Amino acid sequence: MNYPALRQLISSLAPFLGVVVVVLLFWVFYPDQPMTLKAWRSVAVQTVVVGLAAVGMTWVIMSGGIDLSVGSVIALSGVSAALAVEAGWGFYGGVLAGVGTGALCGAYNGILIVGLRLPPFIATLGTMGFYRGVAKWVAANESVRPEDATGLSYTAGIAEWVKQLADGQWLAPAVWLLLATTLLGAWALRWTVLGRHTVAIGSNELTARLCGVRIRQTKVAIYSLAGLLAGLAGVMLFGRLTVGDPTSAVGIELDVIAAVVIGGASLSGGKGSVMGALAGALLMTVLRNRCTAVDWPNFVQEMIVGHIIILAVAIDQWRIRRTRR
Amino acid sequence: MLGVDKAFGATVALAGACLRVEAGEVRALIGENGAGKSTLMRILSGVESADSGTIRIDGNLFSPNNPQQAREGGIAMVHQELAVVEDLTVEENLLLGREPSRGGVFLPGRMRDRVVSSLALLGREDIQPTTPVSQLSVAARQLVEIARALVHDAPVIVFDEPTSSLGAQDIEHLFEVIGRLRRDRRAVVYISHFLEEVQSVADSWTVLRDGVVVGEGLISETSTEDLVSQMIGRRLEEMYPRVPRERGDVLIEVRDLKTSTGLQRAGLTLHRGEVLGIAGLVGSGRSELLRGIYGLDQMESGSIRLEGKSFRPDPTRSIQSGLGFASEDRKEEGLAVDLSVATNLTLGATSARNFFSILGLKKEREQVEVWINRFDIRTWGPDQTVRTLSGGNQQKVALARLLHLDVDAVLLDEPTRGIDVGSKTEVFRWIGELAAQNKGVLVVSSSMQELLGICDRIQVMHRGVLGPARPVEQWDEHSLMVCAVGGEEAA
């Protein structure tokens, strides 16, 4: 098997294959509930928040790190976007405030990790609580709801991005944004110096150091990038809720990490795929959509999603053992 | 009486080695790095099993399958690397694996007398049994390791390089203890590089070379010279191709370099167009010297000048200033084994570039293919993962990286470790070519013969202190070994 490009393609397609399998299985057992185009479109919109954050998380996990604070960053960014709109900064002001807040949070994560030499798990476990607290503080412990006429119109502008469209229309703008971000993230991982260094650090940090890679700056850049994308996800969440809710996106970090892992990433770093992470995120939303469509209760979905993660990693481990032999 | 006989079949590490120790005898086991001493001891202590051969204690056959069985059979080991559990107390460490208990309940203090007396035997009543090991100094931890071997009255005690982290006073105490063990009619095996230690503590010696016992005798009847020539022996002549070269300007000048990792004092001058060798035993500070110059180990004091300019090392800056380094540990540090040949080869060259600059993947591939051809790296292409290459080919990737960087000075730490003879000769030729191209090469090696074959000048490292440089003509394996085991003054 001397076709690594082909093999890589197959392994990055595997999670998409998982999506197809899930849809087919449900179709076989519930032929009266097919996956309609409308369902696909609503699934796509529901994937936006987790998907955007998963692109950044892929970079972090590829570098051998982890970011547990992503849920809190999404909430805080949503709140700051809402506050900016409320303060009359306009549509782009709101988007920039959210994205900027996310990037700052990510940079702080990175600085804590390299400055205090903390394990990323611990550093981001700490900031997970910290950012959540900040979100509640700046939002005065309640949802931020831009109420005057201009504020409402800007909110509506953002909400327009993540709206589920009526029949006859194509994809929501947020879905295009997700696709573009994913492609850009995948491209940059392979074609830019930052991407190359991210993979090198995750695969063997000692080698990267020996080769003169600036480990500290690179790590801060990676976490900032992940924060920025979490900020963008936060803006999208604000659009969907039309309020900045400091208690939203609780526990979403586990969905994001699960998406990346289902997408073929290794938590020990050096291995992963941005496209795979998107597929992983899609797989989870499709599964939720199907379970709802056939009236399975929520807890069944949770039980199934849990085992999909286990299965994805088990298959991966099995493949690694086979190729090493 | 008590004796240990061992013989092994045709393995690379050991080929029919025999060792015999009487009760009341201290036998020194000596040999160069990689001679098979540690393998022999790992078999004795049950960590590994022999392919063939037997071990007898008191005439009874003994074949430990694991360390637990070896201990129960009466063999206690003092390891070279610290094998203490930092989070446990001194007492818990001493009794680890054989805790006094009743019905599975640990009874601390039951063996307190034993613990206290074995620490007292080492002259260190000040170490409290209830102190966590993490609070002790390195030397004190080594003593705990030794006390663990004493606490159970094992009839056979093996010391593997026990003094590497001890001070002079603790060494003296240790030797007193070994004297007492001898009077107690225990059998002691003492492994060491340091001949002066061996001569003061042991009764008899066995020299191991390339997995074979090449000689044994009594310390009182043997001179230092005899021991050294036994250790080196005669080996097959290898090919050391020499390319004519001329010594040029000073490239690197190091003065009184001290690192946080154990290098005490080192000074050297590397010229363009020369190969400077650093000899010394494992753990003498050779690697730390190269790592200190390159900036991987923290520099504590001293100075480094690069082409006359003062230089503060840091890997990124080193590469930009024309320094290249190849690690002795290819798999853990030298290469990212799960990444491709191309990525590994070009990683250094991307290090100083802007994060958002775009990689020219196609051009990179072409360059990598050129290196693959020039170095004759056996691979099916730039995308092959390094893990799946042979040791020699992996090393070629690591070395090709330095050429790809086009550095002026090359720091090589054990460039031929674990590679086949054919690849070795290629590496030697490559080193000679670099010097002929007016670059400077600083090379560390455990093989004295190799250094003599490829270097213009050699310096010897002993316990963190680097001796003066001398032209290669003034060295031979014997004088290198004498300096390596006894320091410069012994020469």
Each residue's pLDDT tens digit, A294-322: 889 888 888 988 888 888 888 878 877 76
Buried b (16+ CB within 10 A) or exposed e, A167-197: eeeeebebbebbeebbeebbebbeebbbbbb
Angle formed by the axes of helices B361-375 and B341-350, to 10°? 110
Q: What does the block give as tokens for A130?
A: 């910290």
Residue B2 lies in a domain: no
The predicted pLDDT at position B81 comes to: 66
Instruction: Give the DSSP H/E element, type plus range, for residue B75.
Output: strand B75-78
Give yes or no for residue A14 having a pLDDT over 90.
no
The alpha-carbon gap from B315 to the nearest alpha carbon of chain A, in Å, equals 5
Tell me the average pLDDT across A38-51.
92
Q: Give the pairing of strands B156-160 and B212-218.
A: unpaired
Q: Give the pairing of strands B465-466 and B457-462.
A: antiparallel
Residue type present at position B53: G
Instruction: Kindly write down the DSSP assignment for every residue of B248-268, as one continuous string.
Output: -SEEEEEEEEEETTS--BEEE
Looking at chain A, the number of H-run helices and the number of E-run strands are 13, 0
Same domain (yes/no): B311, B179? no
Whether the Cβ atoms of residue B411 and residue B324 lie closer than 8 Å to each other: yes
Burial of B158 (0-12, 13-18, 19+ CB in 10 A): buried
Label residue A120 by pLDDT band (50, 70, 90): very high
Q: Which of B190, B205, B232 is the last residue of a domain?
A: B232
Range list of β-strands (E), B204-320: 204-209, 212-218, 250-259, 266-271, 274-280, 299-306, 309-310
CB atoms inside a 10 Å sphere around CB B272: 20
Q: What is the CATH number of domain A15-22+31-163+171-324?
A: 1.10.3470
Cβ contact B344–A207 (<8 Å): yes
Q: Give the pairing of strands B25-30 and B187-191.
A: parallel
Cβ contact B333–A210 (<8 Å): yes
Same domain (yes/no): B179, B284? no
Same domain (yes/no): B212, B302? no
The predicted pLDDT at position B196 comes to: 79
Residue B241 lies in a domain: no
Same domain (yes/no): B339, B402? yes
Using the Cβ of A218 and the Cβ atoms of chain B, whether some distance falls under 8 Å is answered with: yes
Q: Give the pairing of strands B299-306 and B250-259.
A: antiparallel
Cβ contact B318–A206 (<8 Å): no
Same domain (yes/no): B279, B200? no
Range of the domain at B153: 25-232
Instruction: Please identify every stretch of chain B with a pLDDT value under 50, giving residue numbers as ranges.
Output: 1-3, 9-11, 234-237, 490-491
CA distances B333 to A81, A204, A208, A230, B319, Å, are 45, 7, 9, 33, 16
Q: Which chain B residues are within 8 Å of A191, Cβ to Cβ?
A: 358-359, 361
Backbone angles phi, psi at A215, to 5 degrees: -55, -50
Which chain A residue lies closest to B315 (C-alpha atoms)? Answer: A212
Whether the Cβ atoms of residue A98 and residue A236 lie closer than 8 Å to each other: no
Q: Which of B232, B267, B295 is the last residue of a domain?
A: B232
Which residues are B237's β-sheet partners? none
The predicted pLDDT at position A4 comes to: 58
The model's pTM: 0.77
Instruction: Name residue, tokens 């392994």.
Output: A11
Closest CB to A212 among B316, B337, B356: B316
Backbone angles phi, psi at A223, to 5 degrees: -65, -35
CB atoms inside a 10 Å sphere around CB A247: 14
Buried b (16+ CB within 10 A) or exposed e, B440-455: bbbbbbbbbbbbbbbb
Same domain (yes/no): B46, B194? yes
A171 or B323: which leads in pLDDT: B323
Residue B326 lies in a domain: yes
Instruction: Name residue, tokens 């604070």.
Output: A69
The C-alpha angle A51, A52, A56, rounded to 5 degrees, equals: 110
The C-alpha angle B81, B84, B88, rounded to 5 degrees, equals: 165
Same domain (yes/no): B153, B287? no
User: Which CATH number characterizes residue B335's domain?
Assistant: 3.40.50.300
The predicted pLDDT at position B314 comes to: 93
The alpha-carbon gap from B387 to the nearest alpha carbon of chain A, in Å, equals 9
Using only the alpha carbons of chain B, give its radius of gyration: 25
CB atoms inside a 10 Å sphere around CB A128: 19
Same domain (yes/no): B174, B304? no
Whether the Cβ atoms of residue A264 and residue A123 lie closer than 8 Å to each other: no
- What are the residue ranges of helices labelled H in B66-211? 67-72, 90-94, 112-121, 138-150, 168-183, 195-201
Residue B188 lies in a domain: yes
**Cα A83–chain centre separation:** 23
Distance CA B173, CA B286 (A): 29
CB atoms inside a 10 Å sphere around CB B169: 10
Whether the Cβ atoms of residue B403 and residue B348 lie closer than 8 Å to each other: no
Cβ contact A204–B325 (<8 Å): no
**Total number of domains constituting chain B:** 2
Residue B20 lies in a domain: no
Of B30, B37, B33, B36, the residue nearest B11 (C-alpha): B36
Cβ contact A212–B361 (<8 Å): no
Residue B243 lies in a domain: no
Tell me the average pLDDT across A179-194.
95
Q: Which of A2-11, A111-120, A305-314 has the highest mean pLDDT?
A: A111-120
Residue B182 lies in a domain: yes
ipTM over cut 0.95 = no
Using the Cβ of A216 and the Cβ atoms of chain B, whether some distance falls under 8 Å is answered with: no
**Who's near A282: CB < 8 A, 6+ residues apart?**
A16, A19, A43, A44, A47, A51
Structural domain boundaries of chain A? 15-22+31-163+171-324
Range list of β-strands (E), B309-372: 309-310, 323-326
Q: What does the block give as tokens for B437?
A: 């191209």
The predicted pLDDT at position B439 comes to: 94
Residue B9 lies in a domain: no
Instruction: Name residue, tokens 């000692």.
Output: A206
Instruction: Name residue, tokens 């997995």.
Output: B211
Same domain (yes/no): B209, B79? yes
Same domain (yes/no): B367, B457? yes
- SS3 breakdown of chain B: % helix, strand, coil, rounded to 5? 35, 20, 40
Same domain (yes/no): B259, B401? yes
Same domain (yes/no): B213, B266? no
The predicted pLDDT at position B360 comes to: 87
Q: What does the block give as tokens for B233?
A: 């022996």
Residue to test with chain A: of B290, B323, B335, B350, most A Cβ within 10 A: B350
Of A26, A81, A30, A25, the residue nearest A238 (C-alpha): A81
